[in-house]
Amino acid sequence: MIVKEVNEGTKVAYEVAGDKIFFGDDELMLNLSKYERDTDIVIDICTDDDKILIAGLSKYFVANILIPARKYVDEQPTPFTMDNVELSLWSLVESEGE
């Protein structure tokens, strides 16, 4: 997996296991191989004011996952690999008083 830090600051905790990525101490899990298509796929990971992680758009960006288009050799799809997946991480927004 290619990891990019978009800006400075504390990032969301994440762990990669096989084709799966876990965010925020197992709060959100995605099996990335299930999202692979014939075109690039971008998955947004965001939080709301209550710091609830969601896969989709919300108030604050946490991460973006870019899954490149499926590759073919001799008209057969090649196996999914996490080596080609890009994870971009944004700093977490701190609530006032923290």
Q: What is the mean pLDDT of residues 62-76?
A: 96
Give the pLDDT score at 25: 86
SS (HEC) of the chain: CEEEECCCCCCCCEEEECCEEEECCCCEEEEHHHHCCCCCEEEEEEECCCCCEEECCCCEEEEEEEECCCCEECCEECCCCHHHCEEEECCCCCCCCC
Give the pLDDT score at 93: 83
Q: What is the mean pLDDT of residues 54-74?
A: 96
